[in-house]
Chains A and B, each alone.
Chain A
Amino acid sequence: DAGVIQSPRHEVTEMGQEVTLRCKPISGHNSLFWYRQTMMRGLELLIYFNNNVPIDDSGMPEDRFSAKMPNASFSTLKIQPSEPRDSAVYFCASSSGQGGNEQFFGPGTRLTVL
């Protein structure tokens, strides 16, 4: 298995633009997580899906952030409009079960908003 796949690996955009991050979880995993990592805040859970259904989105910072999981093999995290403070590394992770099990992380997307 190729592991969790994220794209793009790097994204540089200007303030106000829409940004879409993509994730393909490990086949057979039914839990998917989106995290944001910054030096100031560390690793923050943004949203958690189980069986394609959003279970906990309390970490989504504001309405500018939205996430979807249309099927078991694909998820997107969208920021519209983007702001400089959204600059961070965004990780997608997947696991089996309902959370609390080992999570497999993707390589991350480094987002820079100018």
Chain B
Amino acid sequence: DAKTTQPNSMESNEEEPVHLPCNHSTISGTDYIHWYRQLPSQGPEYVIHGLTSNVNNRMASLAIAEDRKSSTLILHRATLRDAAVYYCILSTGAGSYQLTFGKGTKLSVIP
């Protein structure tokens, strides 16, 4: 399975932009890049996903490198509620469509 690599932790000041990186050098042409986040004692929630083009939604933006070997989740203005573990995962093109989560990046937001 294609794997992702993320920093273990990051810090950001409140109301500043945050760029969360993810490397996925073995990504295949049909793999989608998904981002989820998990608050303490809760199940992960969907943030954003993309295939080749950059994507924007109300929560965040996803910037995908041209070679697709890396991507960056961008939170435009971090709030205290954004403090969570962020997972970057690849959705395989295989028939089972399983999603394998890594350890993610723990984002701390400093007031």
Mutual binders A and B: no
Which positions in B face A, CB cutoff 8 Å? none
